Amino acid sequence: MSYIKKPKIIRDNDPRNKLGMTFDDYEGVMSTLCAGCGHDSITGAIIQTVFDLNIEPYRMIKFSGIGCSSKTPAYFASQSHGFNSVHGRMPSVATGANAANSELLCIGISGDGDTLSIGMGQFSHAIRRNLNMLYIIENNGVYGLTKGQFSASADLGSTAKKGAPNLQTPIDPCTVAISLGASFVARSFSGDKDQLVPLLKAGLMHRGFAMIDVISPCVTFNDHEGSTKSYMSTRETKREAIYTDYIAPFSEIEVQYDEGTSVEVDLHEGGKVVLHKADDNFSPLDRGQSIKAINDASDKGELLTGLLYINESQPDFTETENTVIKPLNQIAFEDLCPGSEALHKLLDGYK
Amino acid sequence: MGKTSHNNFTVKFANVNGTGSSSANSMFMKSIFRMGIPVVGKNYFPSNIQGLPTWYEVRVSDKGYLAPSGSVEIMVAMNAQTYTEDLAAVAPGGYLIYDSSWPREELMARNDVTVLGVPLATMCNEKFDTARARTLMKNTAYVGVLAALLEMDVSVIEQLLLDTFGSKTHLVDANKTALDLGFNYAKDHFKCPLPFKTKASKKTNGYIMIDGNSTAALGCVYAGATVGSWYPITPSTSLMDAFTQYCSFFRKDEATEKNNYSIIQAEDELAAVGMALGAGWNGARSFTPTSGPGISLMSEFIGYGYYTEIPTVIFDVQRTGPSTGMPTRTQQGDITMCAYASHGDTKHVCLYPANPEEAFYLSVEAFDLAEQLQTPVFVLSDLDIGMNDWMIKDLKWDDKFKPNRGKVLSSEELENMDSFYRYLDVDGDGIPYRTIPGSHPKGSYFTRGSGHNKFGGYTEDASEYQDVVDRLLLKWETAKTLVPKPAVDFSKNNEVGIISIGSCDDAIREARDILEQQDQNLNYLRVKAFPFTKEVQKFLDAHKMIFVIEQNRDGQLSKLLITETEVDPKKIKSIRLYNGIPIFPKDVVDKIQLEINAGQAA
Ligand SMILES: Cc1ncc(C[n+]2csc(CCOP(=O)(O)OP(=O)(O)O)c2C)c(N)n1
Ligand code: SF4
Ligand SMILES: [Mg+2]
């Protein structure tokens, strides 16, 4: 076999979650990405997230498109069903799968190329449907897998490895998602696990479309001086708009904040997020304010991160479709087929 | 003109689209059907919402022939714009009815056609107040004229009005008034009935009048499909409209009023088929209806479905190509494309219904085949089948029917297994086992369109790759034993046969009757599926000359036969009729005779 299974070493003192599973149980096959690729760090954060959330791997489905980033669903939760689809078209597959069974937790992983160019249409429409999924963009400003062409998220003036600047305006997935009506929009950095993990948890427990744009440097094609998506540039320009904690159900809030500076939002699928303001003028509950804050920051050369918008009361796809609670793939045939008598009656109308 | 018998003529209505003529024309046809007389309607409509010419042709055929005859005995010429061509289309000895409110004497340039003027607008303007009613009721009034001329049973028409408009008594009354206007005018001014007329019969007992998009949608409902995704495109749109309507009757959860189905209007066909695949992968019966342009867009995903072995059903209601072509005309131009859609080595199971009746049964069968074979299955109908009203036998349903979900491992089976691998050929038939996500921890696997080995793992290894694509070929062989066999009429021992496909069927049936009267008996096979089964090879082997008749320019079926069977290409005589109009029996006869005569001369 030409894919490598990670050796599984079980030690007695390995931490176990409430399901009795170890960290290893949430791993996938060995990553084949370049050493230092941001995408691998995100994979690590995802493993941490699903471990902490005690997710039964077989109740989770993983989707992706095509790209280095889209390879990563194979690198975590090998006990979950995975679907590495075609370039830019993962949202439609996830939509169909969700229609068939909306009980399964759904994670989608995409790249900036996969989402913002070839997949812009499907991305937009998954947002409009408020499809219940966590949608992660592993954003490196280039097409990694095809060797470093600029993607649609490349900033104006950011340079390619050989020095040529990008001359087209970038698409910011966060402002796009908010204006299209996404119900959960966040931005983070692959190099900041402390910020990323709570966001991933909140996104997974959010009901509806949770989009997290994770700046994830491509060490091979876009980590040089002059690139605005390098490790160094991202560390320098990143500014947290709001601090996010995810609080699991039935657990205590440990840190106390000054009154008036924090907001709690209950999440549909369990737990809540506690948001602590870093900036008085920013509220993630107000679309207009949020878009303005992101744009203002960008004008100043800053990258605004954190949970940028959340609306927990927006109906999701299942609700607007008015489908039954029971997964459609589990309804007995007898309840789906109207039978001969009904046919007979119906056809009387065609006589 | 020889056709003076009862129940044997064609009435063609020339209208302007957007004037409400189609309901009157359908009413005329349905009334004849209810009189027990076999009838069929063909709609030649523009790709436009209002103001362009549109025609509706009603063929009344005592023998129950359902193809257009190619000749028009009565023309109802309501469109001044097309009057000249409409007059020219009438068979010698035929009749033309027009609205004489506006004189058109200079155009009555044929002395072998009887022109009957009826002041429809003048009469309706006197009787009705609103502009809309005046326009609409002109249509009903000409049905009244025809009722008198053809000696139709007026009580049948009146009953139909009651059935159609029900409690809306003002509409029933208005239509009755208009019907009487036309009827009485004709009685008072013309010699009724005409030499061809209707005579009540019992030949439509046990039949219904329905279009093939409705029956295909009904097939989806009865097969237990729960997820349908689509992007609107003529002529497939009404399939999803019908599915939506039937689901609203049959698929509401009684307790919660919620839907036992999900219909998703996608952003484009790429998404529509992606959704169908996602749902099929996740264990729902799914489908997507479209037409040729949609299949072109779907191609990448179709290959994905083939290689990753995901069941779903794709309806291609074919229209005239290439490109946008003529969206409201019929053709069988997607035979090759659907057979091999997508890059790389791909081939797909295709089913070819001939009429709305088969569209129902093959639609149900498509869902079984898709799951048995774990692959996307095409149902190729066309605009003629999908959008025209056909007279078909009552559809039957066997309440003992159980869907064949193919090789799906249950959670109990998984529980008792050591390990599960997605693409192992356990049974030697090329069909692996699959699992439904979320059903059991041991069932998980990774689906990928990139190279994979029989365990489901990523591979770039030459032999591991080849292993899987070779197994797909074995599965293809299994498909040949599962797909529907052709319809064969092989009674006469002779050397010449016809092979055809889909909606050509009725024209061929009639053409064979005509040829038989001239002592030319031709055996007939109609393919119902690709891959071709052994019956097709047998038929090819048994004949020295085979006419392959189809509705496209390039002879796609004939080429598919040459490529995919052992036939000697020299035996194939390809007959292609592809102008967008359903084919006429006499054209089939002419083409065959031309070939046969040429053969004899040589
Ligand atoms: C239809 C199609 N066109 C082009 C490609 C080639 N292709 C593969 S990955 C890719 C870009 C991926 O970029 P991104 O999503 O940003 O992923 P990254 O590799 O940067 O993580 C392209 C263009 C393809 N696989 N399919
Ligand atoms: S090319 Fe870039 S994106 Fe792809 S694996 Fe290497 S570092 Fe990561
Ligand atoms: Mg990228």
Residue B1's pLDDT band (cuts 50, 70, 90): very low
Alpha carbon B473 to its chain centroid, in Å, reads 30
Q: What is the pLDDT of residue A5?
A: 58
**Taking CB atoms and an 8 Å limit, are A125 and B267 in contact across chains?**
yes
| CA dist B343 → B299, B535, B537 (Å) | 8, 30, 28
Q: Cα dihedral angle (A12, A15, A21, A25), rounded to 10 degrees? A: -90
DSSP for residue A205: H
pLDDT exceeds cutoff 50 at B571: yes
Contact check, Cβ <8 Å, A342/B250:
yes
Q: What is the CATH number of domain A23-323?
A: 3.40.50.970
d(C-alpha B277, C-alpha B309), whole Å: 10
Q: Which of B177, B203, B370, B356 is closest to B281 using CA atoms?
A: B370
- Closest by CA position to B407, among listed B513, B474, B309: B309
A 10 A CB-CB count for B163 gives: 13
| Distance between first and last Cα of chain B | 35
Count of residues making up chain B: 602
| Contact list, B394 vs chain A (CB under 8 Å) | 344, 347
- CA distances to B104, B114, B116, B190 from B109, rounded to whole Å, are 10, 11, 13, 20
- What whole-number distance in Å separates Cα of residue A12 and Cα of residue A16? 10
- Mean of the per-residue pLDDT values for chain A? 94
Burial annotation A69-78 (CB, 10 A radius, 16+ → b, else e):
bbbbbbbbbb
Q: Nearest CA of chain A to the CA of B93: how many Å?
A: 33
CA B43 to chain centre: 13
Q: With contact defined as beta carbons under 8 Å apart, do B323 and B315 qualify?
A: no
Secondary structure of residue B533 in the 3-state scheme: coil
Domain residue ranges in chain A: 23-323
Angle of the B212-223 helix axis to the B356-373 helix axis, nearest 10: 40
Give the span between the Cα atoms of B598 and B132, in whole angstroms: 57
Is A85 a pocket residue for ligand 1 (Cβ < 6 Å)?
no
Task: Check if A153 has its Cβ closer than 6 Å to any atom of ligand 1.
Answer: no
Q: Which among B189, B200, B191, B157 has a CA at the least distance from the CA of B176?
A: B157
Pairing of strands A142-143, A149-150: antiparallel
A103 reaches B (C-beta below 8 A): yes
Among A203-207, B110-114, B231-235, B545-549, which is the least confidently predicted range?
B110-114
Q: In terms of DSSP bridges, do strands A262-266 and A272-277 run parallel, antiparallel, or are they unpaired?
A: antiparallel
Can you tell me the ipTM of this complex?
0.96
DSSP state of B82: G
Q: Cβ-count burial of A334 within 10 angstroms (0-12 exposed, 13-18 middle, 19+ buried)? A: exposed
Candidates B110, B82, B91, B63; CA nearest to B13 is: B82
CB interface of B with A, residues 410-449, below 8 Å = 436-441, 443-449
Distance A71 CA to ligand 3 centre (A): 12
Q: Which residues is B287 bridged to in the sheet?
A: B228, B313
Of the candidates A215, A221, A218, which has an alpha carbon nearest to the alpha carbon of residue A234? Answer: A215
The pLDDT of residue A311 = 96
The answer to whether A130 contacts chain B (CB < 8 Å) is: no
d(CA B271, CA B262): 15
Ligand 1 atom at minimum distance from A112 CA: 16
Question: For residues B473 and B366, what is the distance between their CA atoms, to the nearest angstrom?
Answer: 20
Q: Is the pLDDT of residue A335 over 90?
A: yes
Residues touching ligand 2 (Cβ under 6 Å) are A 33-34, 37, 39, 68, 140, 144-145, 218-221
The pLDDT of A265-289, averaged and rounded, is: 89
A106-159 pLDDT, tens digit each: 999 999 999 999 999 999 999 999 999 999 999 999 999 999 999 999 999 999
pLDDT of A13 reads 83
CB-nearest partner of A350 from B209, B279, B457: B209
Asked if residue B354 has pLDDT above 50, the reply is yes
- b/e B434-444 (16+ beta carbons within 10 angstroms → b): bbbbbbbebbb
Mapped onto helix, strand or coil, the DSSP state of residue B487 is: strand
Class of residue A323 by CB neighbours under 10 A (exposed 0-12, middle 13-18, buried 19+): buried
Q: Which amino acid is at B83?
A: Y
Tens of pLDDT, residues A205-262: 999 999 999 999 999 999 999 999 999 999 999 999 999 999 998 776 666 666 567 8
Q: Looking at chain A, how many residues does it have?
A: 351
Q: Which residue has tokens 């009746």?
A: B357
- With beta carbons less than 8 A apart as the criterion, state whether B113 and B107 touch: no
* Residues B285-300 as b or e (16 or more Cβ within 10 Å = b): bbbbbbbbbbbbbbbb
Give me the domains of chain B, ranges plus CATH numbers.
5-205 (3.40.920.10), 210-393 (3.40.50.970), 411-482 (no CATH), 487-601 (3.40.50.920)
Whether A67 and A89 have beta carbons less than 8 Å apart is answered as no
Contact B60, B78 (CB under 8 A): no
Residue A159 contacts by C-beta under 8 Å, 6 or more apart in sequence? A165, A166, A224, A226, A227
Task: Out of B208, B271, B402, name the one closest to residue A350 (CB).
Answer: B208
Q: Does residue A138 line the site of ligand 1, with CB under 6 A?
A: yes
pLDDT at B162 over 80: yes
CB atoms within 10 A of CB B201: 15
Average of per-residue pLDDT values in chain B? 95
**B26-59 tens-digit pLDDT:** 999 999 999 999 999 999 988 888 889 999 999 9
**Which parts of B375-448 are beta strand (E)?**
376-382, 390-393, 446-448
Condensed to tens digits (0 to 9), the pLDDT of residues A2-36 reads: 345 566 666 778 899 999 999 999 999 999 999 99
Strands B8-16 and B72-77: parallel
DSSP, collapsed to helix, strand or coil, labels residue B203 as: coil
Angle between the A173-180 and A287-299 helix axes, to the nearest 10 degrees? 160
pLDDT band at B105 (very low <50, low <70, confident <90, very high): low
Is residue A23 within 8 Å of residue A13, measured between CB atoms? no
Q: Is the dihedral of CA A279, A280, A286, A288 positive or negative?
A: negative
How far apart are the C-alpha atoms of A81 and A104, rounded to whole Å? 10
Helix (H, G, I), strand (E, B) or coil at A272: strand
Amino acid at A285: L
Residue whose tokens read 């040529």: A164
Structure-token pair, residue A20: 């009795």
CA distance B313 to B223: 11
Enclosing H/E stretch for B270: helix B269-281
Write a three-state SS string for B2-39: CCCCCCEEEEEEEEECCCCHHHHHHHHHHHHHHCCCCE
- Contact with chain A for residue B227, Cβ under 8 A: yes
Q: Is the pLDDT of residue B2 over 60?
A: no
Nearest CA among A322, A107, A60 for reference residue B257: A322
Q: What is the mean pLDDT of residues B113-137?
A: 95
Residue B292's pLDDT is 98
The confidence score (pLDDT) of residue B487 equals 98
Q: B218 pLDDT exceeds 70?
A: yes
Q: Record the tokens describing residue A2, joined without a space.
A: 């030409």
pLDDT at position B442 is 94
**H/E element, B165:** helix B154-165
